[in-house]
């Protein structure tokens, strides 16, 4: 009976250790922005309303090579991950 309790304790301990390792490493990889202004504490872009013209399409997936504008990279991202991100479209009325 004592060996059985030790075995159950070892299994539970191993499961908890594995769970906490998974949580720790998942948090490290949870970063959304992996390439734009990584040295900044916070990425902030300012666009003058006069520069918008008729309309502008802005990236929200953080993967655009024309940041802050959308280059439709989100389409491939959505297909690969099952995500549903899309651009922000600003139009002048």
Residue pointed to by tokens 């490290």: 28
pLDDT bracket for residue 1 (50, 70, 90): low
Q: Which two tokens stand for residue 72?
A: 């439709």
Residues 6+ apart with CB under 8 A from 3: none
pLDDT bracket for residue 38 (50, 70, 90): very high
| pTM of this structure | 0.64
Instruction: Check if the beta carbon of residue 91 is closer than 8 Å to that of residue 55.
Output: yes
Q: Comparing 18-32, 44-58, 73-87, which segment has the lowest mean pLDDT?
A: 18-32
Residue with the bigger pLDDT between 58 and 7: it is 58
Residue with the bigger pLDDT between 5 and 68: it is 68
Closest CA to 47 of 11, 10, 90: 90
Q: Check residue 6 and give its pLDDT.
A: 80
* Catalytic residue list: 42
Residue 54 pLDDT more than 80?
Answer: yes
Residues 6+ apart with CB under 8 A from 58: 68, 69, 70, 87, 88, 89, 90
């Amino acid at each position: 009976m004592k060996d059985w309790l030790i075995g159950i304790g070892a299994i539970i301990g191993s499961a908890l250790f594995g769970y906490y390792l998974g949580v720790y490493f998942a948090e490290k990889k949870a970063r959304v922005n992996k390439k734009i202004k990584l040295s900044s504490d916070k990425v902030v872009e300012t666009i003058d309303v006069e520069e918008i013209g008729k309309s502008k399409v802005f990236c929200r997936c953080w993967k655009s090579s024309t940041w802050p504008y959308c280059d439709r990279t989100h389409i491939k991202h959505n297909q690969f991950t099952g995500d549903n991100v899309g651009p922000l479209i600003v139009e002048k009325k």
